[in-house]
């Protein structure tokens, strides 16, 4: 993700996780032909990729998470929202003079 953000690679990193149940995989069969295939997309990974690629077209406040008990995951989502807000603020600031050392 860091290499993609810095422009050192043109291919974004994959963040989808695939699970196949009841059959061997990978094999010669495409995953679309499997009986039970599950794709998991971590919201945090998608948010970071879209944020760094400039494709973020939705508000971080609209992340549809359903977590039963407040825990570390809730804090992580809040930190990503704060990071997103900081990033947006930084994108809106005009470049200033270099600071004296």
Both tokens of residue 26? 């990978």
Per-residue pLDDT tens digits for 21-36 = 999 988 998 988 899 9
Query: Residue 20: pLDDT band by 50, 70, 90 thresholds?
Result: very high
Mean confidence (pLDDT) of the chain: 76
Q: 0.75 cut: is pTM over it?
A: no
Q: Is residue 12 over pLDDT 60?
A: yes
Identify the pLDDT of residue 81. Answer: 81
Query: Residue 67: pLDDT band by 50, 70, 90 thresholds?
Result: very low
Query: Could you tell me whether strands 36-40 and 17-21 are parallel, antiparallel, or unpaired per DSSP bridges?
Result: antiparallel
Backbone angles phi and psi of 48, in degrees to 5: -65, -45
How is the chain split into domains, by residue range?
1-58
């Amino acid at each position: 993700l860091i290499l993609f953000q810095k422009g050192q690679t043109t291919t974004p990193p994959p963040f989808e996780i695939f699970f196949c149940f009841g059959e061997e995989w990978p094999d010669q069969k495409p995953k679309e032909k499997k009986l039970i295939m599950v794709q998991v997309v971590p919201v945090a990974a998608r948010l970071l990729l879209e944020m760094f690629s400039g494709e973020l077209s939705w508000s971080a406040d609209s992340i549809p998470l359903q977590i039963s008990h407040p825990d570390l995951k809730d804090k992580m989502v809040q930190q990503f929202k704060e990071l997103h807000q900081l990033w947006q603020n930084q994108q809106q600031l005009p470049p200033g003079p270099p600071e004296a050392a």
